[in-house]
Amino acid sequence: MVAGKGSIGSSIRVNEIETDVLVVGGGSTGLWAAIRAKDFCSRVIVADKGMIASAGVSTMIHGVQAPVDDEDMVAAMKELVVRSAYLADQKWLPIILEEMGDRFRAMEEWGVPFVRDADGKLHTENRMGLKVNRMAFINGRPMMRTMKEHALGKGVSLLERTMVTDLLTSDGQHPTGGRVIGAVGLNTISGDFSIIKAKAVIITTGLMGAKRHLAYADGLTGDGVAMGFRAGAELQSMELSQSAAFSVWDRRFSTGGQAEYMRAGAKVINRLGENLIWKYAPDKQAPFLSKQEICFAAVKEILEGRGPVYMDMTNLSENDIKLLRGVLPSAMRAFDEAGINLRDKPVEITPMVHHWGASSGGGLKINLNGETSVAGLYAGGCASHNPGHNVSGAGQGQAFNFVSGYRAGEMAGRTSRDIEQAPIAADQARSLREQTFVPLYRESGPGPNEIYEAINKATLPAEFCFFKNEGTLRATLARMQRLQEEDLPRLKADDIHQLIRANEARNTATIIEPICLSAIEREESRFWHYREEFPYRDDVDWLKWVVTKKSDGGVSVGLESLPIEDYPIQPEKRTRVPALIPFSWANRAQG
């Protein structure tokens, strides 16, 4: 790239495109949105950073909430509300449960091969301790390929290998007082710049990650959430968006299967050989801890000097291992490659937070029609807040994707029929092009990988991921603000590939600020959000959602009380429930 010639980005080829509805992100949510929008308008484009059906996490899924029978609907809803500790949005949940069945059956008609038993019945199982809600099984890749074919057959246009970088607004401002009227982006190989005029834009860019090489999600960097936030859209529940797993084994490779190993009889033990489930389970007769509790217990053991923590499978038989090989071939391949025989000795495990917003908690705030707080901008799936709150892991993520995508697509498609395309402010298109391309024109400065290293240094420690307090959160916030003010303006890219990474880094950095501010606001401990000063779940004062929004020069933080009194399912009494795994930094082992 020739830097320093003409104004920034002036040598780049520019394509101008016009559409009724632009969908940003072609995962299962985005394809559902596009397919439904097409019922109402003639021109629908899906832009995706990668190739649809290879990119995104929908290609990697294996479970989808199974359709719920009418007679089980109330019990299914109650089970999910209780699992959410009553934080779930009880207007959204019945919609998801009721409409999910139609989305599921339509996908089967298109040829999506959900797993069926020998007798032809849909194969479903109860997972994650749920007793009413059941999960159906699917390989995400063929599911996405079938959906892609269906979208193409319906006349949806695809703009693949195009990273959308920012939104165009009717007043040319960020945050806007007007509406969203399109977006800009660049081709990830050629760098060609696109100005896409659209009457409605739907953000379906998936979860928010920081390139940790875990969970196949390095291409998902919170772009849509960040660009919506910059344009003035509200975010909800950002403090509740993290989740973690025993992602790193033997300190050198990542693989899954924790639940299956434990089902087979594996133990989680500390350096002293103590079984963590026995140690922390409140019911010693039937000891059980959720994945979240085991992760917290393991990090506490490590910080208090009783680590490392191990998965101990030495008691499993050859036959147990053989069965595991059958259900977890990739995971077993990873152990083989590392030269580990699981029956020989325990294997060290390290809990890590992979990313934020994978079907739990935060993202763009949407109403029941997928509308964000900015006119013309819609969202769904992991890019929006999940109204289920902590209700995931047994296919509920996909159920919300299908239903929220469909609803956002319908609303955006309908609305696009009633409005004229607003003219693009030339100044804004030019300044966004410069913003996108400027890293290519810098002679020196940190590269995107250095920025990601700095982001991960600030956001991987237990002070941010597991045992937070106001001090640790403010320290992370200050580091991230410094990075935004001092390092991002010097960010340098050597080629188009790095330019994409540079724009991604800017987005990841953008979303950490609302995460920190929302976590400071929530003065209680709930799900994956633990506050040292408030080691209890507070159902008296905290049945609330935290909402953040860009306001002139800063970020405003607000609270929205759940209308729990109007909801059909209510807690018997509202109390403060002590956290199961409390921790104080005063007890951190020295050395």
Ligand X SMILES: Cc1cc2nc3c(=O)[nH]c(=O)nc-3n(C[C@H](O)[C@H](O)[C@H](O)COP(=O)(O)OP(=O)(O)OC[C@H]3O[C@@H](n4cnc5c(N)ncnc54)[C@H](O)[C@@H]3O)c2cc1C
Tell me the per-residue interface mask from 202 to 221 with other proteins, x by CB under 8 A, - otherwise.
---------x-xx-xxxx--
Which sign does the torsion angle of CA 25, 26, 29, 31 carry? positive
- CA–chain centroid gap for 526, Å, is 18
The three-point CA angle 112-115-120 to 5° equals 105
Q: Which stretch binds ligand X (CB under 6 A): 54-62, 231-239, 458-466, 565-573?
A: 54-62
How many other CB atoms sit within 10 Å of the CB of residue 327? 12
Work out which of 8, 17, 57, 509 binds ligand X, going by CB under 6 A. Answer: 57
Residue nearest to ligand X (CB): 27
Catalogue the long-range contacts made by 553-561 (C-beta closer than 8 Å, 24 or more residues apart).
555/513, 555/514, 555/517, 557/517, 557/518, 557/520, 557/521, 559/521, 560/236
Which of ligand X, other proteins, none sits in contact with 477, Cβ below 5 to 8 A by type? none
Residue 299: both structure tokens together: 């990090």
Do residues 3 and 495 touch, judged by C-beta distance below 8 A? no
Work out which of 29, 58, 162, 350 binds other proteins, going by CB under 8 A. Answer: 350
Nearer Cβ to other proteins, position 164 or 465? 465
Q: How many residues bind other proteins (CB under 8 A)?
A: 46
Footprint on residues 219-248 left by ligand X (CB under 6 A): 219-220, 223-224
- Please report whether residue 245 would count as binding other proteins according to CB under 8 A: no
Which residue in 224, 228, 456, 501 sits closest to 354, CA to CA?
456
Do residues 34 and 23 touch, judged by C-beta distance below 8 A? yes
Q: Which stretch binds other proteins (CB under 8 A): 4-12, 297-305, 405-413, 471-479?
A: 297-305
- Please report whether residue 319 would count as binding other proteins according to CB under 8 A: no
Work out which of 60, 152, 368, 426 binds other proteins, going by CB under 8 A. Answer: 60
Residue 580: both structure tokens together: 């199961």
- Please report whether residue 361 would count as binding ligand X according to CB under 6 A: no
Residue 555: both structure tokens together: 């970020």
What pairs with residue 124 in β-bridges?
A: 136
Nearer Cβ to ligand X, position 275 or 290? 290
Which residue in 37, 361, 380, 365 sits closest to 204, CA to CA?
380
Footprint on residues 141-180 left by other proteins (CB under 8 A): 141
Nearer Cβ to ligand X, position 436 or 525? 436
- Please report whether residue 35 would count as binding ligand X according to CB under 6 A: no
Classify residue 425 as exposed, middle or buried by CB count within 10 Å of its CB (0-12, 13-18, 19+).
middle
- Please report whether residue 424 would count as binding ligand X according to CB under 6 A: no
Amino acid at 436: T
For the CB of residue 62, give the shortest distance to ligand X in the complex, in Å: 5
Residue 389: helix, strand or coil by DSSP?
coil
Classify residue 145 as exposed, middle or buried by CB count within 10 Å of its CB (0-12, 13-18, 19+).
middle
Q: Which stretch binds ligand X (CB under 6 A): 22-30, 98-106, 278-286, 583-591?
A: 22-30
Cα–Cα distance between 537 and 576 in angstroms, integer? 5
Q: Which stretch binds other proteins (CB under 8 A): 9-17, 256-264, 451-459, 523-531?
A: 451-459
Residues that bind other proteins (CB under 8 A): 49-51, 54-56, 59-60, 141, 188-189, 211, 213-214, 216-219, 248, 251-255, 299, 302-303, 307, 330, 333-334, 337-338, 350, 352, 449, 453, 456-457, 460-462, 465, 497, 500-501
Residues forming contacts to ligand X in the complex (CB under 6 A) are 24-30, 47-50, 55-58, 60-64, 163-164, 204-207, 215-217, 219-220, 223-224, 358-359, 381-383, 395, 397-398, 401
